[in-house]
Amino acid sequence: MPAALRKSVPHVVMMVYVVVILVPFLFVLFSSFKANNTEIALHPFGLPKSWKFSNYQEAWVKAKISVYFWNSLYLAAAAAAVGVLLSAATAFALTRMKFPKTSAAIYQFVLIGMLIPGNVLFIAQYLLVRNLHILNTHWSLFLPYAAGALPFSVLLICAFMRAIPTELEEAAVMDGMSAPGLFARIILPLTVPALVTVFIVNFLGNWNEYLLAQFFISKDALRTLPTGMVQFRDAFQTNYALVCTGIVFSVAPVAVLYGFLQRTIIEGLTAGSLKG
Protein backbone atom coordinates (compact mmCIF):
# COMPACT_ATOMS: atom_id res chain seq x y z
CA MET A 1 0.00 0.00 0.00
CA PRO A 2 1.48 3.35 -0.98
CA ALA A 3 2.36 5.60 1.93
CA ALA A 4 0.01 8.38 0.85
CA LEU A 5 -2.93 6.00 0.74
CA ARG A 6 -2.03 4.46 4.04
CA LYS A 7 -1.87 7.88 5.57
CA SER A 8 -5.30 8.82 4.31
CA VAL A 9 -7.09 5.74 5.61
CA PRO A 10 -7.50 7.09 9.16
CA HIS A 11 -8.79 10.37 7.77
CA VAL A 12 -11.35 8.62 5.59
CA VAL A 13 -12.63 6.56 8.51
CA MET A 14 -12.70 9.55 10.83
CA MET A 15 -14.46 11.69 8.25
CA VAL A 16 -17.20 9.09 8.03
CA TYR A 17 -17.56 9.27 11.79
CA VAL A 18 -17.58 13.06 11.76
CA VAL A 19 -20.32 12.98 9.13
CA VAL A 20 -22.38 10.63 11.28
CA ILE A 21 -22.05 13.10 14.14
CA LEU A 22 -22.76 16.25 12.20
CA VAL A 23 -25.40 15.22 9.65
CA PRO A 24 -28.21 14.87 12.19
CA PHE A 25 -27.54 18.45 13.28
CA LEU A 26 -27.54 19.71 9.72
CA PHE A 27 -30.71 17.80 8.93
CA VAL A 28 -32.46 19.38 11.90
CA LEU A 29 -31.07 22.81 11.07
CA PHE A 30 -32.34 22.70 7.49
CA SER A 31 -35.68 21.23 8.54
CA SER A 32 -36.17 24.04 11.01
CA PHE A 33 -36.31 26.56 8.16
CA LYS A 34 -38.74 24.61 6.02
CA ALA A 35 -42.32 25.63 5.53
CA ASN A 36 -44.12 22.44 6.54
CA ASN A 37 -44.00 18.68 6.78
CA THR A 38 -44.65 18.25 3.08
CA GLU A 39 -41.57 20.21 2.16
CA ILE A 40 -39.50 18.21 4.63
CA ALA A 41 -40.86 14.94 3.25
CA LEU A 42 -40.41 15.89 -0.40
CA HIS A 43 -37.03 17.60 -0.11
CA PRO A 44 -35.43 16.09 2.96
CA PHE A 45 -31.82 16.87 2.12
CA GLY A 46 -31.70 20.15 0.27
CA LEU A 47 -31.69 23.64 1.62
CA PRO A 48 -35.13 25.10 2.24
CA LYS A 49 -36.81 26.63 -0.79
CA SER A 50 -37.43 29.80 1.13
CA TRP A 51 -35.99 30.34 4.57
CA LYS A 52 -38.80 30.45 7.08
CA PHE A 53 -37.35 32.51 9.89
CA SER A 54 -40.86 32.87 11.24
CA ASN A 55 -40.55 29.33 12.65
CA TYR A 56 -37.98 30.68 15.06
CA GLN A 57 -40.18 33.50 16.18
CA GLU A 58 -43.09 31.13 16.63
CA ALA A 59 -41.07 28.59 18.60
CA TRP A 60 -39.59 31.28 20.80
CA VAL A 61 -43.03 32.61 21.70
CA LYS A 62 -44.77 29.27 22.06
CA ALA A 63 -42.10 27.34 23.89
CA LYS A 64 -40.87 29.97 26.35
CA ILE A 65 -37.39 28.74 25.52
CA SER A 66 -35.83 31.80 27.10
CA VAL A 67 -37.51 30.95 30.41
CA TYR A 68 -36.41 27.31 30.28
CA PHE A 69 -32.93 28.33 29.29
CA TRP A 70 -32.55 30.80 32.13
CA ASN A 71 -33.95 28.32 34.66
CA SER A 72 -31.50 25.65 33.55
CA LEU A 73 -28.59 28.06 33.53
CA TYR A 74 -29.01 29.54 36.96
CA LEU A 75 -30.05 26.29 38.65
CA ALA A 76 -27.19 24.33 37.14
CA ALA A 77 -24.66 27.02 37.98
CA ALA A 78 -25.90 27.72 41.50
CA ALA A 79 -26.15 24.05 42.45
CA ALA A 80 -22.74 23.30 40.97
CA ALA A 81 -21.15 26.28 42.72
CA VAL A 82 -22.65 25.45 46.11
CA GLY A 83 -21.74 21.79 45.68
CA VAL A 84 -18.15 22.69 44.84
CA LEU A 85 -17.79 25.13 47.74
CA LEU A 86 -19.24 22.74 50.29
CA SER A 87 -17.07 19.93 48.99
CA ALA A 88 -13.96 22.10 49.03
CA ALA A 89 -14.62 23.16 52.62
CA THR A 90 -15.16 19.55 53.62
CA ALA A 91 -12.13 18.36 51.72
CA PHE A 92 -10.06 21.02 53.45
CA ALA A 93 -11.20 19.84 56.86
CA LEU A 94 -10.68 16.20 55.98
CA THR A 95 -7.22 16.56 54.50
CA ARG A 96 -5.66 19.51 56.33
CA MET A 97 -7.11 19.57 59.80
CA LYS A 98 -5.85 17.23 62.46
CA PHE A 99 -8.72 14.88 63.14
CA PRO A 100 -7.43 11.83 61.28
CA LYS A 101 -9.84 9.20 62.61
CA THR A 102 -12.98 11.29 62.27
CA SER A 103 -11.85 12.42 58.85
CA ALA A 104 -11.28 8.89 57.61
CA ALA A 105 -14.71 7.87 58.84
CA ILE A 106 -16.43 10.85 57.23
CA TYR A 107 -14.57 10.25 54.00
CA GLN A 108 -15.76 6.65 53.80
CA PHE A 109 -19.27 7.66 54.78
CA VAL A 110 -19.50 10.20 51.99
CA LEU A 111 -18.03 7.79 49.46
CA ILE A 112 -20.93 5.38 50.00
CA GLY A 113 -22.85 7.84 47.87
CA MET A 114 -20.70 6.93 44.87
CA LEU A 115 -22.10 3.43 44.90
CA ILE A 116 -25.71 4.52 44.58
CA PRO A 117 -26.89 4.85 40.98
CA GLY A 118 -28.55 8.24 40.61
CA ASN A 119 -32.10 7.19 39.87
CA VAL A 120 -32.39 4.60 42.63
CA LEU A 121 -33.28 7.31 45.11
CA PHE A 122 -35.80 8.91 42.79
CA ILE A 123 -38.99 7.85 44.56
CA ALA A 124 -37.62 8.42 48.04
CA GLN A 125 -36.26 11.84 47.08
CA TYR A 126 -39.58 12.65 45.54
CA LEU A 127 -41.31 11.87 48.81
CA LEU A 128 -38.65 13.81 50.68
CA VAL A 129 -39.00 17.05 48.73
CA ARG A 130 -42.74 16.68 49.01
CA ASN A 131 -42.51 16.38 52.78
CA LEU A 132 -40.24 19.41 52.87
CA HIS A 133 -42.99 21.23 50.95
CA ILE A 134 -40.61 22.31 48.25
CA LEU A 135 -42.08 20.21 45.46
CA ASN A 136 -42.76 22.34 42.42
CA THR A 137 -40.22 24.95 43.46
CA HIS A 138 -36.66 25.29 42.25
CA TRP A 139 -35.43 24.25 45.67
CA SER A 140 -36.60 20.72 44.87
CA LEU A 141 -33.99 20.60 42.12
CA PHE A 142 -31.32 22.83 43.62
CA LEU A 143 -30.91 20.76 46.78
CA PRO A 144 -30.72 17.30 45.17
CA TYR A 145 -28.40 18.66 42.49
CA ALA A 146 -26.07 20.22 45.05
CA ALA A 147 -26.24 17.11 47.23
CA GLY A 148 -25.77 14.77 44.29
CA ALA A 149 -22.46 16.43 43.47
CA LEU A 150 -20.99 15.91 46.92
CA PRO A 151 -19.53 12.38 46.98
CA PHE A 152 -17.70 12.71 43.69
CA SER A 153 -16.57 16.28 44.39
CA VAL A 154 -15.27 15.49 47.87
CA LEU A 155 -13.35 12.53 46.47
CA LEU A 156 -11.75 14.54 43.70
CA ILE A 157 -10.93 17.63 45.71
CA CYS A 158 -9.53 15.55 48.57
CA ALA A 159 -7.20 13.81 46.14
CA PHE A 160 -6.07 17.17 44.84
CA MET A 161 -5.60 18.77 48.26
CA ARG A 162 -3.56 15.87 49.59
CA ALA A 163 -1.02 16.64 46.90
CA ILE A 164 -0.54 20.23 48.08
CA PRO A 165 2.64 20.45 50.19
CA THR A 166 2.18 21.38 53.85
CA GLU A 167 5.04 23.90 54.11
CA LEU A 168 2.95 26.81 52.90
CA GLU A 169 0.22 26.43 55.44
CA GLU A 170 2.65 25.77 58.26
CA ALA A 171 4.20 29.12 57.56
CA ALA A 172 0.80 30.75 57.39
CA VAL A 173 -0.31 29.23 60.67
CA MET A 174 2.93 30.53 62.24
CA ASP A 175 1.90 33.96 61.05
CA GLY A 176 -1.31 33.52 62.99
CA MET A 177 -3.68 32.80 60.18
CA SER A 178 -6.90 31.07 61.16
CA ALA A 179 -8.18 27.89 59.60
CA PRO A 180 -10.87 29.58 57.50
CA GLY A 181 -8.33 32.15 56.38
CA LEU A 182 -5.97 29.39 55.44
CA PHE A 183 -8.72 27.74 53.47
CA ALA A 184 -9.90 30.86 51.71
CA ARG A 185 -6.55 32.51 51.00
CA ILE A 186 -4.07 29.70 50.55
CA ILE A 187 -5.63 26.33 49.84
CA LEU A 188 -8.62 27.39 47.77
CA PRO A 189 -6.59 29.37 45.22
CA LEU A 190 -4.20 26.45 44.85
CA THR A 191 -7.10 24.08 44.27
CA VAL A 192 -8.69 26.09 41.47
CA PRO A 193 -7.90 23.58 38.69
CA ALA A 194 -9.69 20.82 40.56
CA LEU A 195 -12.56 23.13 41.42
CA VAL A 196 -13.01 24.07 37.77
CA THR A 197 -13.09 20.42 36.80
CA VAL A 198 -15.63 19.58 39.46
CA PHE A 199 -17.72 22.60 38.58
CA ILE A 200 -17.87 21.70 34.91
CA VAL A 201 -18.79 18.08 35.59
CA ASN A 202 -21.53 19.08 38.00
CA PHE A 203 -22.77 21.93 35.88
CA LEU A 204 -23.23 19.77 32.82
CA GLY A 205 -24.81 17.02 34.88
CA ASN A 206 -27.35 19.47 36.28
CA TRP A 207 -27.85 21.19 32.96
CA ASN A 208 -28.82 17.90 31.34
CA GLU A 209 -30.75 16.34 34.21
CA TYR A 210 -34.16 15.09 33.18
CA LEU A 211 -35.75 12.65 35.62
CA LEU A 212 -36.03 14.88 38.69
CA ALA A 213 -36.82 17.95 36.65
CA GLN A 214 -39.62 16.09 34.91
CA PHE A 215 -41.38 14.93 38.04
CA PHE A 216 -40.46 17.52 40.68
CA ILE A 217 -41.52 20.52 38.63
CA SER A 218 -44.83 20.89 36.91
CA LYS A 219 -45.17 24.61 36.41
CA ASP A 220 -44.31 25.79 32.96
CA ALA A 221 -42.54 28.89 34.24
CA LEU A 222 -40.23 26.77 36.38
CA ARG A 223 -39.30 24.11 33.83
CA THR A 224 -35.73 23.53 32.79
CA LEU A 225 -34.59 23.15 29.22
CA PRO A 226 -34.59 19.32 29.01
CA THR A 227 -38.14 18.95 30.31
CA GLY A 228 -39.37 22.10 28.62
CA MET A 229 -38.23 20.77 25.27
CA VAL A 230 -39.93 17.42 25.78
CA GLN A 231 -43.10 19.24 26.72
CA PHE A 232 -42.76 21.36 23.60
CA ARG A 233 -42.37 18.26 21.44
CA ASP A 234 -45.43 16.67 23.02
CA ALA A 235 -47.46 19.78 22.28
CA PHE A 236 -46.41 20.11 18.66
CA GLN A 237 -46.04 16.42 17.95
CA THR A 238 -46.36 16.56 14.20
CA ASN A 239 -45.22 20.08 13.42
CA TYR A 240 -41.71 18.86 12.66
CA ALA A 241 -40.30 22.16 11.48
CA LEU A 242 -41.28 23.78 14.74
CA VAL A 243 -39.89 20.91 16.81
CA CYS A 244 -36.61 21.18 14.91
CA THR A 245 -36.52 24.88 15.64
CA GLY A 246 -36.81 24.05 19.31
CA ILE A 247 -33.90 21.63 19.02
CA VAL A 248 -31.76 24.28 17.34
CA PHE A 249 -32.60 26.75 20.09
CA SER A 250 -31.49 24.36 22.78
CA VAL A 251 -28.38 23.02 21.04
CA ALA A 252 -26.98 26.28 19.66
CA PRO A 253 -26.03 28.05 22.90
CA VAL A 254 -24.33 24.94 24.24
CA ALA A 255 -22.48 24.43 20.99
CA VAL A 256 -21.29 28.04 20.97
CA LEU A 257 -20.13 27.82 24.56
CA TYR A 258 -18.39 24.58 23.71
CA GLY A 259 -16.68 26.30 20.79
CA PHE A 260 -15.10 28.79 23.18
CA LEU A 261 -14.39 26.52 26.10
CA GLN A 262 -13.83 23.18 24.43
CA ARG A 263 -10.43 22.53 25.94
CA THR A 264 -11.55 23.29 29.47
CA ILE A 265 -14.76 21.34 29.08
CA ILE A 266 -13.11 18.28 27.57
CA GLU A 267 -10.33 18.22 30.12
CA GLY A 268 -12.72 18.81 32.97
CA LEU A 269 -15.10 16.06 32.00
CA THR A 270 -12.53 13.44 31.15
CA ALA A 271 -10.30 14.14 34.15
CA GLY A 272 -13.38 14.02 36.33
CA SER A 273 -14.45 10.61 35.15
CA LEU A 274 -10.97 9.11 35.31
CA LYS A 275 -10.47 9.99 38.92
CA GLY A 276 -14.04 9.21 39.83
Partner 1 sequence: MKTTLKNPYVYLGFVLPTIALYFLFFIYPMLTSAVYGFTDWNGLDRRNFIGFDNFANAFGDADFQHSMYNNLYFIVFSVFVQIPLIVVFSLLISGVKRLQGFYKTTVFLPSILSTSVIGILWGYIYNPDVGLIASILKIFGAEPIYWLGESKWAMFAILITNAWQWMGFYIVLILAAILAIPKEIDEAARIDGASGAQRAWYLTVPLIRPVINVVVMLSIAGALRVVDIVLVMTDGGPAGATDVMASYMVSKAIKFGDYGYGTALSIIIFAFALLLTALYQFAFARRQERVEY
Partner 2 sequence: MKRNLVLVFTLLMSLSLVLAACGSKNNDSAGSSSPPGSPSASASESPNASPSASPSETKVEPFTMSLRHIQIGDPQKFRKAILDEVVKRTQEEVPGLTIELDGVEDSVNRFTKLPAEMAAGNPPKIFDVFGGAADTQKYAKAGRMLDLTPILDELGLRDKFLSGVLDPFSVDGKVYGLPIGGNTEGIFYNTEIFQQNGLNPPTTWEDLIKAADTLKAKGITPFATGNKAAWVGNMLVNTLIGRMAGEGTNPGFITGASKWNSPDVVAAYQIIADWESKGYFTKGELGKEYGDMLNDFVAGKAGMMFDGSWRSSAFKDDAVGKAIAGKVAFVALPPVPNGKGNQTSVNANYGEGYGFSSDLNDNEKAAVKAFIKNMYSDEMQLRGLLEDGVLPSMKLGDDSVAKVTDPLVKQVLDVLKNAGASFPHFDSIVQSKVNAETEAQLQKLIAGKAKSDAVGAAIQKVQDAENAASAK
Binding to partner 2 (CB under 8 A) within 142-181 occurs at 142-143, 178-181
Q: How many residues bind partner 2 (CB under 8 A)?
A: 38
137 binds partner 1 (CB under 8 A): no
Concatenate the DSSP letters of all residues of 194-248 into one string: HHHHHHHHHHHHHHH--HHHHHH---GGG--HHHHHHHHHHHTTT-HHHHHHHHH
221 binds partner 2 (CB under 8 A): yes
Whole-number Å distance between alpha carbons of 40 and 156: 48
Shortest Cβ 183–partner 2 spacing (Å): 9
Report whether 169 contacts 186 (CB < 8 A): yes
Q: Categorise residue 176: left if φ over 0, alpha if ψ from -120 to 50, beta otherwise.
A: left
211 binds partner 2 (CB under 8 A): no
Q: How far apart are the first and last CA of the chain?
A: 43
Judged by CB, which is closer to partner 1: 57, or 237? 237
Q: What is the DSSP letter of 187?
A: I
Q: Which one of partner 1, partner 2, none interacts with residue 211, CB within 5 to 8 A by kind?
A: partner 1
Judged by CB, which is closer to partner 2: 167, or 234? 234
Q: Restricting to residues 78-137, name those near partner 2 by CB under 8 A.
A: 82, 86, 89, 126, 130, 132-137
Would you say how long the chain is, in residues? 276
Judged by CB, which is closer to partner 2: 121, or 179? 179
Q: Restricting to residues 34-53, name those near partner 1 by CB under 8 A.
A: 37, 40-41, 44-45
Shortest Cβ 139–partner 2 spacing (Å): 6
Q: How far is CA 51 from its chain centroid? A: 33
Q: Restricting to residues 21-60, name those near partner 2 by CB under 8 A.
A: 37
- Write the interaction track for partner 1 spanning residues 177-196; mark x where CB under 8 A is met and - where it is not: xxxx-xx-------------
For residue 97, which of 152, 169, 47, 49 has the smallest C-alpha distance? Answer: 169
Go through 70-95 and write b for each residue having 16 or more CB atoms within 10 A of its CB, e for each that does not: ebbbebbebbbbbbbebbbbbbbebb
Judged by CB, which is closer to partner 2: 223, or 271? 223
Whole-number Å distance between alpha carbons of 149 and 273: 13
- Write the interaction track for partner 1 spanning residues 149-168; mark x where CB under 8 A is met and - where it is not: -xx--x--------------
Angle at 220 between CA 217 and CA 223, to 5 degrees: 50
Whole-number Å distance between alpha carbons of 154 and 91: 6
- Write the interaction track for partner 1 spanning residues 109-128; mark x where CB under 8 A is met and - where it is not: xx-xx-xxxxxxxxxxx-xx
Whole-number Å distance between alpha carbons of 128 and 126: 5
Binder to partner 1 among 27, 56, 60, 69 (CB under 8 A)?
Answer: 27
Give the footprint of partner 2 on this chain (CB under 8 A).
37, 61, 64, 67, 70-71, 82, 86, 89, 126, 130, 132-139, 142-143, 178-181, 215, 218-222, 231, 234-239
